[in-house]
Structure formats: structure tokens, C-alpha cells
Amino acid sequence: MNLSEIRQVLSEKEIQLTRSLGQNFMHDRNQICRIVESGEVSKADKVLEIGPGLGPLTELLVEKAGTVLAIETDQRLVDILRDKFKSVDNFEIIKGDALAILRNERREWAD
């Protein structure tokens, strides 16, 4: 997802970014690839993505990782991501504050 696609989705959905949420969306494909490469993400990995936004990093993570759990606080973005990744089996999204969820919900991250 490049910058013009991000702008188009935001415009179509009439979404204004919220400064208080610190919303800044990654869009540079080269940087996104570097992030995933530096993490050496493989199908054996379970990845936690906090604040996936519109999902440009998520797109690559679901290709490379075994499981991707995304936590997003903005319901508008949760709805977009649920629709976008509805047919992806290794993706789950939770709406809420990441710190609160991680403190209160136990997940088995290691095999």
C-alpha cells in the first residue's frame, strides 16, 4: 500500500487522522521490507503488530509469518483491516489499547 492508496482509502472512508492517537502511516515499501527482513520473519514466527494502521506492514507480515496478531485502538481502522484480511487465515485483529490487552490477556507466544 503506497501513499496515494493510503490517501485514497482515508478519503473514501472520510477518515481524518487523530493526532492524539499519534497516527502516522508507514508507506515506503523499501522501509517496510527492511523491517521484515531485519526481523528475519519466517513461517515459524508469531508476530505482534501494535497499531497496524491501514496494514501496509501487515500485508508483508501475513505473507512471511506463521501468525500475525494486530492490536489497533481506532475502530475505523479495525473495520477496514477486518475486511481487508477477512480471507487470511493467519491474521487476527483486536480492537483496544495494546498495553491493557497485553497486561490482561494471556497468550501462548512460544511453542
Q: What residue spans define the domains of the chain?
A: 3-104
Residue 1 pLDDT > 80, yes or no? no
Fold of the CATH domain 3-104:
Rossmann fold (3.40.50)
Task: Average the pLDDT over 9-28 and give the result.
Answer: 78
Average pLDDT, the chain: 88
Rounded distance between C-alpha atoms, residue 15 and residue 100, angstroms: 25
Residue 43 pLDDT > 60, yes or no? yes
Task: Average the pLDDT over 24-51 and give the result.
Answer: 91
- Per-residue pLDDT, 109: 58
- Per-residue pLDDT, 13: 84
Q: Which residue has the higher pLDDT, 26 or 48?
A: 48
Instruction: Give CA separation, 91 vs 4, 14, 30, in Å.
Output: 25, 25, 23
| Cα torsion angle, 51, 78, 57, 18, sign | negative
Category of 40 on φ-ψ map: left (φ > 0), alpha (ψ -120 to 50) or beta: left
Residue 111 pLDDT > 50, yes or no? no
* pTM for this prediction: 0.82
